[in-house]
Amino acid sequence: MSQRYAVVLAAGKGTRMKSELYKVLHPIAGKPMVEHVVDQLESCSVDETVTIVGHGADKVQDLLGDRVSYAVQEEQLGTGHAVMQAGKVLEGKSGTTLVVCGDTPLLTAETFADLMAHHEQTGAKATVLTAVTEEPDGYGRVLRDADGQVEKIVEHKDASAAERSVKEINSATYVFDNEALFTSLKNVGNDNVQGEYYLPDVIEILQREGETVSAFTAADFHETMGVNDRVALSEAEKWMKRRINEYWMRQGVTMTDPEQTYISRDAVIGPDTVLEPGTVLRGRTIIGSACRIGPHTELTESRVGDRTLVKQSVASMSDIGSDVKIGPFAHLRPETALDDGVRVGNFVELKKVSMGKNSKASHLSYLGDAEIGDAVNVGCGSITVNYDGKNKYLTKIEDGAFVGCNSNLIAPVSIGTGAYIAAGSTITDDVPGESLAIARSRQTTKDGYLKNDAAKN
Ligand code: UD1
Ligand code: CA
């Protein structure tokens, strides 16, 4: 098979976004637009992908790393000029080249494959991916001759009123014969309203030279949409959300209100799990089956087992087992690991904590830097005092220990197996297993004190 290359255009600033963040780095479903594009290309058996960077080059390179190679476009003189920068790597090589923009995040690997297959079947030198929309404003229009053959693409700004009435748009995704692409780019001028070197002009150039140029029309315009401003960004977000949610519903996930359920493209959800409104799953969050998540729950880069309930809570970089109950209003900070059957109730904050099977912290606790065994009960209001203003220290609570309400465990400290801490204790010393520790001042009761006249004055 001949070589396949891809060029991703990502050098523009994205002026219309009115943002400090470069356009292609704006996220859709929690992931930068250009990363969606590169993810899809990776499943297209492309031999080499060259990303054109300019504005925000460092940040784009930090994001994509060595998944692609790079060519720098120092000055943004247009999409044709951008592709020319890939010439250093690709010019003169035989094969086909897929060109795609970093601001079309909804395009799928399937569409790229269909486009390339069409290109190969027609033996064209260039094939453009088009789409039909009732709202073509802003897009380049695809002009065809009486036989339906593509003649050229005219930018919205350069188009006449008649041309603007055309509803077939250029998605700015193309497949080219690689050698023909770089030869034709040399003939692209910048005599247009924007004074830019337009990549779509290659279509007209090849067509005039008598080469076959072809078009492949996407089934769904929304997949091809380009994001130039925040309105389009929210539209793209909406379509991506719909796509992701429909996918998971078809895999057996219930969403009581998909419009209000936000799932990252990298999340994984097991069947019979119910996502309630306001659920946000970020990054690579993995949820097992038959869980109930939400309402109003945010899970970031976390793993959840099966049959677990998480209600009105926040967790990040946490590992949550099966049959766990969390919330409402719990906060699991990074490096929390909850074994099966754990219960974490309202207003409990956990950080760098492991809790063994069936352990509980049901109400109003802060537990940080702690290793907690199985079947431990942490009473209401108890906290690990893990920080002395300079360093963090470890608290260990072994299996079956019972920490009475409102206890302070001053770390470093260990509570032995089956030990019992009396409510209200401030524990500064290790407590051996099977022992009772009481660390509070004794109550003094002054019998009838307020009946005494002297006390009243
Ligand atoms: C482009 C197409 C238009 C098409 C639309 C589809 C051109 C001239 N126009 O218009 O026909 O309908 O996409 O979304 O190609 N870029 C660079 N360097 C540059 C200029 C742009 O790398 O010098 C990159 C941008 O970062 C962006 C992409 O190319 O990712 C497209 O550029 P943009 O300015 O958004 O083009 P549109 O006006 O949307
Ligand atoms: Ca665009």
* Cβ within 8 Å of residue 427, ≥6 positions away: 407, 408, 409, 410, 413, 415, 421, 437, 439
The residue-averaged pLDDT of 235-250 equals: 98
What letter represents residue 456's amino acid?
A: K
User: In 10 A of CB 257, how many CB atoms?
Assistant: 14
Catalytic residue flag (residue 81):
no
Domain boundaries defined on the chain: 4-224, 251-437
Whose CA is closest to 200, among 211, 210, 216, 189?
189
Residue 192 Cβ inside 6 Å of ligand 1? The answer reads no
Token pair, residue 243, equals: 């796509």
| Separation of CA 30 and ligand 1 centre (Å) | 23
Q: Is 387 annotated to bind ligand?
A: yes
DSSP state of 198: -
6 to each of 45, 87, 395, 435, how far by Cα in Å?
Answer: 10, 12, 54, 68
Range 411-433 average pLDDT: 98
- Over residues 123-164, the pLDDT tens digits come to 999 999 999 999 999 999 999 999 999 999 999 999 999 999
3-state secondary structure of 161: helix
Per residue in 336-377, pLDDT (tens digit) is 999 999 999 999 999 999 999 999 999 999 999 999 999 999
Beta-strand pair 279-282/395-397: unpaired
- Are 116 and 98 contacting, i.e. CB atoms less than 8 angstroms apart? yes
In short, whether 226's Cβ falls inside 6 Å of ligand 1 is: yes
- Cα(195)–Cα(243) distance, integer angstroms: 38
Cα dihedral 9, 184, 113, 115, rounded to 10, equals: 110
Confidence at residue 256, expressed as pLDDT on a 0 to 100 scale: 98
Q: Which ligand has an atom closest to residue 193 CA? A: 1
155 lines ligand 1 (CB under 6 A): yes
Position 456 scores a pLDDT of 63
Determine the pLDDT at residue 72: 98
What does the pLDDT read at residue 286?
98
Predicted local distance difference test score (pLDDT) of residue 452: 72
Return the DSSP state at 88: H
pLDDT at 454 over 90: no
Point out the ligand nearest to the CA of residue 140: 1
Fold of the CATH domain 251-437: UDP N-Acetylglucosamine Acyltransferase; domain 1 (2.160.10)
Q: Is a pLDDT exceeding 70 seen at residue 1? A: no
Q: Is the pLDDT of residue 431 over 70?
A: yes
Contacts of 228 (CB under 8 A, 6+ apart): 14, 16, 17, 23, 103, 138
Which among 86, 210, 218, 207 is positioned nearest to 151, based on CA atoms? Answer: 207
285/294 Cα distance (integer angstroms)? 14
pLDDT at 33: 98
Mean pLDDT of the chain: 97
What CATH number matches the domain at 4-224, 3.30.70.20, 3.90.550.10, 2.60.120.260, 3.40.30.10?
3.90.550.10
**What is the rounded distance in angstroms from the CA atom of residue 143 to the CA atom of residue 266?**
38
What percent of the chain is predicted at pLDDT more than 90? 98
Q: What is the pLDDT of residues 175-233, one digit of tens each?
A: 999 999 999 999 999 999 999 999 999 999 999 999 999 999 999 999 999 999 999 99
DSSP class per residue in 294-344: -SSEEEES-EE-SS-EE-S-EEESEEE-SS-EE-SS-EE-SSEEE-TT-EE
Decide whether any atom of ligand 1 lies within 6 Å of the 19 Cβ.
no
